[in-house]
Amino acid sequence: MLFDSPAFIAFLIPVVFILWRLNHRTQNVFLLLASYFFYGWWDWRFLALMVGSTTMDFLIAQKIVPEQQNPHRRKWFIFSLFLNFTILGIFKYFDFFAGSFVGMLNNLGLHNVPLPLIRIILPPGISFYTFQEVAYIVDVYNGRIAASRSFVEYGLFISFFAHLIAGPIQRPGHLLPQVQRERTFDADRFFDGLMLIFSGMIRKCIVADNCALLVNAAFGGQLGPPNLWVVLLGTYGFAWQVYGDFSGYSDIARGAAQLLGFHFMVNFRQPFLAPRLQDFWRRWHISLSSWLRDYLYIPMGGSRAGEWKTVKNLFLTMVLAGLWHGANWTYVIFGAIHGIVLPIERFFFPAKTRPAAGSAPEPPAGFFALWAQRILTFNILCLSLAFFRATSLHAAAAFLAGLSNFAWRPEYASAFFMLCLYSVPLFLIDLHLEVTDQEYPFANASYVFRTVLAACAFVALALFSGSSLNAFVYFQF
């Protein structure tokens, strides 16, 4: 049930209509059942895994609250973390590590070594709901939040369909209180939710899906053997594809949540306008990058234990961030590139010039210096995305080897025109949002103007939507 499919619209409309005719307690039960139906629509076999994981953490949380002074509190806490990450590891990484092990044995001359023939199917959204469960357990253990006494409330926090498959990853202290307290219908927020859904549809169906056609041609060889122009088309196109795709998904998720009386955090803040890579990670997939900062980087020591340990912590965090995205060595290299560049940035922009956590970065002096850094940062990102998009390290290396070939073909002109046609409007929207600090374009305009804008968006979706075969990129993670 993709967010840009008629099936989801047919699901969402009755859920919204019924919800606002129920009292608070019944609303939560209804939304939990609707979310389980939504997840079971993908594959009902994995519903038991999610419910079992949710039940386990719900019960363990009662045993680790600081007030109980349970002598086994720490053991239960470690057991929960171990079990959560073991489940995630088995389902997401078993095939990857087994295949890598077989490949290593082949390289050592040991062929046809018998291994169990096990193929693990990746459950939808397991990376996202596992991270939410871990955040909840850690926050309860540290006394940041109280353990939920209602399975319905905790179960809805984990499985709420708007964020279940691809985030944004919701913090317990942000979403759980919204589940627990009574919600009232707000016409303004409801209208804003509709506008966010339209914004997400434009980003996904027009920008991402059309850029995907170009990217598939570049990486698939339809534009000829890799050269400088094919590499630029492929990497630049994929940058805008994955940005339009995931920011579009996040807008639809946030919009759907607002129709139901919930508020989700903003997950993207014009990331391609970041002058430095560290600023990029403050703007890109904010729910994941802040989770990695608070639950991985800082617990490892962060930047408190000297410069070399800071470099190590940054590198390990980014490598694990890359591996979180997928079970392939290409994602490890993607994370490693960021883990190498971030410490280099720290060297050239030492601590006295770096902003405090959560604050806006200090821009470089001068208009041209600012844009030079933005362009450099964007190109470093695109280099790493070549590994993100490629199917193997060999394919990525062969694709990037084309950078030394400058051969031009006439059809590249139309390909670059297509890339500009679908990426430049989103770029201009980001410039507008950067200046106005709004959640979506013209968020403060009149209802009439925004209604007309939504009607235009509906027409644009009908005329310019790309291939319907392109599922949301982050669904595979």
The whole-number pLDDT of residue 118 equals 45
Q: Would you say residue 385 lies in a domain?
A: yes
The whole-number pLDDT of residue 122 equals 66
Asked if 385 and 471 sit in the same domain, the reply is yes
Q: Would you say residue 350 lies in a domain?
A: no
Q: How many domains does the chain have?
A: 2
234: which 2 tokens?
Answer: 């492929």
Asked if 35 and 178 sit in the same domain, the reply is yes
The whole-number pLDDT of residue 166 equals 81
What is the rounded CA–CA span in Å between residue 273 and residue 428?
11
What is the rounded CA–CA span in Å between residue 358 and residue 32?
33
Asked if 208 and 129 sit in the same domain, the reply is no
Unique residue bearing structure tokens 């999610």:
50
Asked if 179 and 208 sit in the same domain, the reply is no
The whole-number pLDDT of residue 110 equals 57
Burial of 102 (0-12, 13-18, 19+ CB in 10 A): middle
Asked if 173 and 266 sit in the same domain, the reply is no
- Give the tens place of pLDDT for each residue, 254-284: 999 999 999 999 999 999 999 999 999 999 9
Q: Could you report the average pLDDT of every consecutive run of 10 residues in the chain (477 residues)?
A: 84 96 93 94 84 94 86 92 91 66 58 52 81 96 93 96 88 94 93 93 93 94 93 97 94 95 94 95 94 93 84 94 88 95 86 52 71 95 95 94 93 95 94 88 87 88 72 54
What is the rounded CA–CA span in Å between residue 233 and residue 423?
12
The whole-number pLDDT of residue 210 equals 93
The residue among 145, 201, 282, 176 whose CA lies nearest residue 9 is: 201
Q: Would you say residue 472 lies in a domain?
A: yes
Of 183, 217, 241, the position where a domain reaches its end is 183
Of 158, 183, 208, the position where a domain reaches its end is 183
The whole-number pLDDT of residue 394 equals 94
Burial of 258 (0-12, 13-18, 19+ CB in 10 A): buried
Q: Would you say residue 345 lies in a domain?
A: no
Asked if 270 and 253 sit in the same domain, the reply is yes
DSSP 121: P
Asked if 265 and 143 sit in the same domain, the reply is no
The whole-number pLDDT of residue 327 equals 77
Of 183, 214, 249, the position where a domain reaches its end is 183
Domain with 222 in it: 189-275+363-476
163 has catalytic annotation: no
- Torsion angle defined by CA atoms of residues 413, 418, 419 and 425, in that order, rounded to the nearest 10 degrees: 130
Asked if 50 and 199 sit in the same domain, the reply is no
Asked if 64 and 29 sit in the same domain, the reply is yes
Given the residues 72, 174, 263, 325, the one annotated as active site: 325
Burial state string for 148-160 with b = 16 or more CB within 10 A and e = fewer than 16 = beeeebbbbbbbb
The whole-number pLDDT of residue 4 equals 80
Contact 442, 231 (CB under 8 A): no
Q: Would you say residue 390 lies in a domain?
A: yes
122: which 2 tokens?
Answer: 């990746």
The whole-number pLDDT of residue 117 equals 44
Asked if 85 and 221 sit in the same domain, the reply is no
Asked if 201 and 160 sit in the same domain, the reply is no
Q: Would you say residue 469 lies in a domain?
A: yes
Q: Would you say residue 210 lies in a domain?
A: yes
Asked if 151 and 260 sit in the same domain, the reply is no
Q: Would you say residue 294 lies in a domain?
A: no
The whole-number pLDDT of residue 113 equals 55
What is the rounded CA–CA span in Å between residue 10 and residue 233?
37
